[in-house]
Structure formats: C-alpha cells, structure tokens
Amino acid sequence: MSTEGPTMNRWVVVLGAVLIQLCLGSVYAWSVFTGPLKVAIVNGGYGFSNSQTQLVFSAGLVSWAVMVAVGGWLQARIGPRRTALLSGVILGAGYILGGLVGKTFWAQFICIGVVGGAGIGLGYVVPIAVGVKWFPDKKGLITGLAVAGFGFGATLWVKLAGGFKAFLWLGGGYAGLLQTLHLFGLSGVQSVFFVYGLVYFGLIIVGAQVMINPPAGYAPKGWTPAMASGQTGTVEYTRREMVRSPQYYILSSIFTCSGIAGVMVIGSIALFGADKLVASGYATADEAKLITGTAAALLSVFNGLGRIAWGGVSDRIGRRMALFLMCCIQGSTLFAFFNIGGTALGLTVGACIVGFNYGGNFALFPAATADLFGNKNVGTNYGWVFFFYGLAGLAGPLIAGRLTDGATAAAVGAWRLPFMIAGTTCLVGAVLALVLRPARRAVAALEPAE
C-alpha cells in the first residue's frame, strides 16, 4: 500500500465538503418558514395546517434518504464530482421552482420536498465517501467535519431568512429576507426560495470541483490500518453482503430511533415554542417568535458542533459506546423538553442539546458503516444504512403534526406526548447500541483503539 501522499492537499477536500454540505443543510432551515406558511396570502395560497407544514418537511427528509442510496451508487459509476454537480442542479431547480410556483401545499410538497430533497440526497454521500478515502486514519473526525457544514448551513439560512433580531441581547439587527424580499411580486417565502435556489446551485458547483477520489492504494504517510484501530486486516463488504448481516439491521434501526427525536424538534420547534412560551406567560406572541428563532438557529449551530465532537469522541471511546451515550442523553432531554420549554433559557438549552446529539448521528453512522463493512464501498453501503433515516424523517414530523393539529397556547398540553414518544425511541436505540457487535467476518472495529 502506498504511503506517499498525492499532490493535492487532502484538507482541500474537507473545505469542498463543507461548502457542499452548507447548501445541503437547507432542509434544516424549514422551521423558519412554518409560521409564515400558516398565514393565508392576499392573492391566494398558503394557510397551511401544522400537518401540512410537517408533510413538506417529511417529504424532503424521505426523498433525501431514498436518494442517498442512489447517490452512493451513482458516485461509484460516474465519479463523485459529476454526482455532486448533478446534486447542485436538482437542489437549485427545486427551490427556484418552489419560489416561482409555490403558492399551494402540493406545489411546495413536490418542489421543495420531493425535488429539493432528491438534490440533497444525491450529493450528501459524496463528501463523506471521498473524505473517508482521503482520511482512513481519522474516520470519525473527518465524517464529522465533512457533514458539519450541513448543520451550520441551517443557521445561516434561518438567520438570513428570519433576521438577526432574534438575538434579543444584541439589539439592532435586520428584519430578514422573509420580511424585506419581494421579487417579481412574489411573497417573502417564495422570494427566499428563489434566491436560495440560485445560491445553492452556485456554491455546490464550486465545492464539487475538489470531490476527487485519492489514487488507488493511497494511505496517509506513516499510517497503516493496524496502527489506526488495532485491526489485523481490512474486510470489505459489498452491498449484498452487508444487507444479509444482522449488524446492518441493528445499526440502521439505531439510526431510525435516534433520528426521530431530532427531526421532530427541528421541524416543530417554532410551533411548539410559540405555544409554550405564551401559555407559560413568559412571552407575548411576537416575543415568542424572536425567542424560537434564536433557539432554532442555535440548534443548527450545535447540530454542526455535535457532528465534529461526537465523531472525534468516537475515535477514542469506540463507535458503540458513543452511540449508546448519545441516545441516552437525547432520550433524557426529550422527556424533559416539554416542561423546560416555557422559558427562553429552557427552550434554547433544550434545543441546543437536541441539536448537538442529533448532529452526532451524521458522524457516527457513516464511520460505523466504514468500520463494520469497510471503506471501499462506504458510499454505496452508507446509502443503504441511511435509508432507515428516512423512516425517522417520515415518523418524527408526522407524529408531531398529527398529535398537535389545532394546538394553541390554551391547549399546549398536546405537545407533551410527541416528545415522550421521541424520548422513548432514543432509549430503545441505546439498548440496541449495547448489543451491536462486529460482523462475523469483521474485526473489532467498533471498539476504541488500544
């Protein structure tokens, strides 16, 4: 195996990965649009119910999850650069069309949810697969860095759309694109969609230029697999071999259990926060919008931080123990979330913890997939693991939407049950993490390095 590095600096790949993921994180900015979408506009349209706002979000998550497998397959055949370029075209087109024709629920369901989610899915696995091949010595950390932009991106898109006035303690700020941008006579929501589509397209095209696999046989200078994790050999699973192993179903089920909590809070924090803060007497309706905007933005920041932190931690304590701890902390937070969400501090701290742990999923699961089933086919294999995240993307928002339709500040108790359900699924995921063991053909990759 070669130990000489290629001419391209491998850290440039990380920069390109972050740039791409910054745009793909658009799906997590959805909460900033849920409030405006519940209001009917003058020329007809909007007036969505809670369920409808969450169905668009779910459509994006499910489409994303399904297309990750397609993206993994495609990047192995036409190359990661071309796959990333295609992702940018489709994501950009979905948002541009959503801006131009997105007055109705079905228009947004298709354009933003289905088409936009497909663009996210096609490109999502590319930075991960390329990054793992360039950094086999730091799989946990590098997958965390590669997808950190996904979490941080949502903060940028939320604050650009909703405004920086949400940071009450800073004062000043600006009203945000939703209030100030009206292109071609379109509403604020549609105008933002249109502009975001153009931006996503341009930034992904730039990041795609460095999505290049290393030369065959590449290994970082001075590194060998045995030094990295105490392994005595590398076992590579094909997709067919992987899906026949019980480890595949255990790992994927943990992803579903852990993912439900995060997507539920991300999709509904603005709606829950508005009801709970007013019901507790802590804030007026207008003040509640500002507080929930801050909580949603900080959730996204901690989403990005969690990807880096949990990835690095798992390189030290092992993927299995990291998954167990992450699920336990997340479950405990969800059980408390309804009660602590009645103040700005409680809502924000709870959102940050949920975001931090939720972000950890997207560092731990690709790294665990590479550990269990090898680096060679990680792009394709992780796509099939990620498919189970789509179940979380469908279940989380729908549970929240269905159980809280018609909820108001006066009937805020309707929000308690969804959080209890999500907390329970996390604890189930923690139990499954304890029984996860390397596949029979694999070495003890899930355990920490000696």
More confident residue, 203 or 163: 203
CA dihedral 120→125→131→133, nearest 10 degrees, is -160
Averaged over 374-380, what is the pLDDT?
78
| CA 119/CA 25 separation, integer angstroms | 11
- Strand, helix or coil for residue 99: helix
- Domain residues of the chain, as ranges? 10-216+228-435
Is the pTM value of this prediction over 0.85? no
The average confidence (pLDDT) of the chain is 83
Instruction: Give 29-41 pLDDT, tens digit per residue.
Output: 888 888 888 888 7
Instruction: Give 145-183 pLDDT, tens digit per residue.
Output: 777 777 777 778 877 887 754 444 444 445 678 878 888
The least confident of 203-212, 322-331, 402-411 is 402-411
Residue 333 predicted with pLDDT over 60: yes
Residue 433 predicted with pLDDT over 90: yes
Which of the given ranges, 32-36, 46-50, 229-233, 340-344, has the highest pLDDT on average? Answer: 340-344
Which strand (E) or helix (H) includes residue 113?
none
pLDDT reported for residue 439: 65
Instruction: Give 298-312 pLDDT, tens digit per residue.
Output: 888 898 889 889 988
Which of the given ranges, 135-139, 228-232, 360-364, has the highest pLDDT on average? Answer: 360-364
Q: What is the DSSP letter of 236?
A: -
pLDDT reported for residue 10: 85
Averaged over 250-279, what is the pLDDT?
88
* Domain 10-216+228-435 fold: Growth Hormone; Chain: A; (1.20.1250)
- Can you read off the two tokens belonging to residue 447? 């355990």
- Name the amino acid, one letter, at 325: L
pLDDT-derived band at 283 (thresholds 50, 70, 90) equals confident
Residues with Cβ within 8 Å of 371's Cβ and at least 6 positions away in sequence, in order, are: 139, 229, 319, 438, 442, 445, 446
- Strand, helix or coil for residue 444: coil
